[in-house]
Amino acid sequence: MKFSTKVQIPQSATVTINSIAQQKKLAGERIFNLSAGEPMMNTARYLEKAVQDAMQSGKTLYPPVAGLPELRKKASDWMNTNYQTSYSPQNTLITCGGKFGIYLSLQALLNDEDEVIIIAPYWVSYPSMVSLFGGKPMIVTTKEQDQWKVRPDDIRNICTEKTKMLILNNASNPTGVLYTKDELMLILEVAKEKNLIVLSDEVYSGLTYDDKTYTSCASIEKNSDNLIVIQSCSKNFGMTGWRVGFVFASENFIKMLTKIQGQSITGTSIISQYAAIAALEQSEIITHEIHKEMESRRDFFSSTFNKVFHTNIPQPQSSLYHFIPLSAFGIQNSDDITFCEQVLTNGNVALVPGSAFGCAGYIRTSFGANKNELKESIEALASHLQFSA
Ligand SMILES: Cc1ncc(COP(=O)(O)O)c(C=O)c1O
């Protein structure tokens, strides 16, 4: 069978690592999983009753394509209250995770050869999704010594007449970089100057640490036709498996995405949408609980890691990850892929190579698991690499 040239994309590296880890688990091996991108907590208890009520009252038919009206209203209210935006339910699409919101947005916008600026280290799926729709990823690379922050001039300088979009991931996977309001204003100014559509991926907005506040691009560019904000219940409410995400954008854009959603997935599960309504109703409690726990796991991870590996890795200001240079293990070459394969195959520790994020010579670890799991994983890694505390 001859596949379309547009689908010649690599499989997501995080999914690949997770599936090797799953296979080993099925074979009865103990896996130390530092690769999963999720806050592992039992928040389902907050949602159980809402889901049971929905099922018992037969609310199990197709959902409205754009999402349950009550959820669209609650999601836009949540966004406006927490991030000083001004969205209405008509500016809101409920979809299958933030990921499908990004996918739909790129599908709606890209023509062949349209250029999309992506800032590296980037979330693994951006370049592949851009390529899937015929677009051309234009990578702007940032550096650890600049705290992984992009310089507005670097965005300006890479633009050509074919550049259509900028994908910005504030509170980032994998580096945890967090932009201030002033920094975002400068970036958005360049986007305006170059007439770029900005897709702002804000799915980690609830996970910012050390009392840092989160600024949504939509609080700066209110009601802009050229701004799309991606949000999600996954990380904010510990609901990764429920698959509920939000797209906030102009009414016109939401109507277009609704049309595509109607001809593709119809919408995300209605049961999950009732769970999301319950999560939004209790969002303050849930976000506080997850935030507090993740900040504590972050601190625990870095202090344990530093002690075991006699190093001093930087603290991420947001999200769920440490992005660690191989030099932290005393390794000078930059073959992170071989390193991760060996560590998983022989040491049973799952990490993600920096190359998957467009940055060789690093690995990404996740502190989403509980402290016991984190401790055992660091110890397993140390034992495999023959380090002792
Ligand atoms: C940066 C980033 N954006 C979007 C997503 C998509 O999340 P979800 O589809 O679970 O909402 C993820 C998931 O890992 C992510 O890391």
Q: Nearest Cα to 108, choosing from 277, 203, 247? A: 247
- Nearest of 95, 218, 109, 99 to residue 163 by alpha carbon: 109
pLDDT per residue as tens digits for the range 204-241: 999 999 999 999 999 999 889 999 999 999 999 999 99
**Domain coordinates in residue numbering, the chain:** 5-43+285-384, 60-282
Q: How much is the pTM?
A: 0.96
Q: What is the pLDDT of residues 106-151, one digit of tens each?
A: 999 999 999 999 999 999 999 999 999 999 999 999 999 999 999 9
Q: For ligand 1, pick from 128, 167, 203 the residue to mutate: most ligand atoms within 8 Å of CB.
A: 203
Pocket flag, ligand 1, residue 173 (CB < 6 Å): yes
**What pLDDT digit, counting tens, does each position of 153-171 carry?**
999 999 999 999 999 999 9
Of 35, 125, 170, 294, the residue with max ligand 1 atoms within 8 A of its CB, to mutate for a pocket test, comes to 125
Does pLDDT of 65 surpass 60?
yes
Amino acid at 250: S
Instruction: Convert the pLDDT of each residue in 71-118 to its tens digit.
Output: 999 999 999 999 999 999 999 999 999 999 999 999 999 999 999 999
Residue listed under structure tokens 């670097």: 154
CATH 1.10.3720.10 fits 60-282, yes or no: no
**In the predicted structure, residue 14 carries a pLDDT above the cut 80:** no
Q: How far apart are CA 170 and CA 153, in angstroms?
A: 18
Pick the CATH number of 5-43+285-384 from 3.10.180.10, 3.90.1150.10, 3.10.450.710, 1.10.3210.50: 3.90.1150.10
Q: Is the CB of 99 under 6 A from ligand 1?
A: yes
Using DSSP's 3-state secondary structure scheme, residue 94 falls into strand
CB 37 less than 6 A from any atom of ligand 1: yes
Ligand 1 contact, 95 CB (< 6 A): no
Residue with tokens 């016991």: 372
